Amino acid sequence: MKMKNSIALVLIVMFGIFLFHIYERYQTQTALNKTAAYYNSKAPAETGAANVVTSIVVTYRGLDTLGEVTVLFLTAMIVGYILRQRGKAKTPKNTTSEILITAANILIPGSIILGAYVFINGHLTPGGGFQGGAIIGTAIGLMILANPIGNIQKTALHYIESLSGFTYILIGLAGLILAGGFLDNRILPLGNLGELFSAGAIPIIYSLIGLKVGSELSSILASINETTNNTAKS
């Protein structure tokens, strides 16, 4: 035990020295690097998106975004699989307070609308598919808290997730065939900078990402709630 503690202490000290050297040599950047400067100056004209971050995430680095939503999809599938392996028991009664139920009835519709607004306007304002999807997932989580014995249609969530992901890939391939590369948003007219119907296919792509992320998060929450109910004490 003493040997393990000594080794751990040595590793911590070495790591601290390493971080200290990094801190000592750190210099604040006063100008954008070459890649960032290109994105900052060229992105609005090339993609038609007023939000430069969106143009980078959805077009220039669209493959990264595809990888991220794939990881989230695999996480949802793994969580669902693991939770299904647990035993079943009698479903508990709904003991949720009336205050939470009333608050949920008021907040859930507005939260879903807000989530949709965030990803539809992701090319114009801060936000986008992941943020909007997370808001929708939070609304579903609130719905589960308000009615833990309610039935969430996981089949519908799976269909939404699959259809969104499949359409996302199709749009990416369309960019590869009809424009300059995978997920190139110029398969549709860029429109006027700052308008809702602008930035080519970016609003569609971000809407698909929002639906995919929202359905995946909701599916995870629904699986956890279902397993909790099934393993509750009778």
Give the pLDDT confidence score for residue 232 in this predicted structure.
55
Find the domain containing 155 and state its range: 2-230
Residue 114 has pLDDT above 80, yes or no: yes
Q: Kindly indicate the confidence band of residue 89, based on its pLDDT and cuts at 50, 70 and 90.
A: very low
Pick the residue with more confidence: 199 or 94? 199
- What SS3 string covers the chain? CHHHHHHHHHHHHHHHHHHHHHHHHCCCCCCCCHHHHHHHHHHHHHHCCCCHHHHHHHHHCHHHHHHHHHHHHHHHHHHHHHHHCCCCCCCCCCCCCHHHHHHHHHHHHHHHHHHHHHHHCCCCCCCCHHHHHHHHHHHHHHHHHHCCCCCCCHHHHHHHHHHHHHHHHHHHHHHHHHCCCCCCHHHCCCCCCCCCCCCCCHHHHHHHHHHHHHHHHHHHHHHHHHHHHHCCCC
Mean pLDDT of 64-81: 82
Give the pLDDT confidence score for residue 70 in this predicted structure.
86
Residue 93 has pLDDT above 60, yes or no: no
Question: Considering its fold, how many domains does the chain have in total?
Answer: 1
Percent above pLDDT 70 for the chain: 92
Residue 208 has pLDDT above 90, yes or no: yes
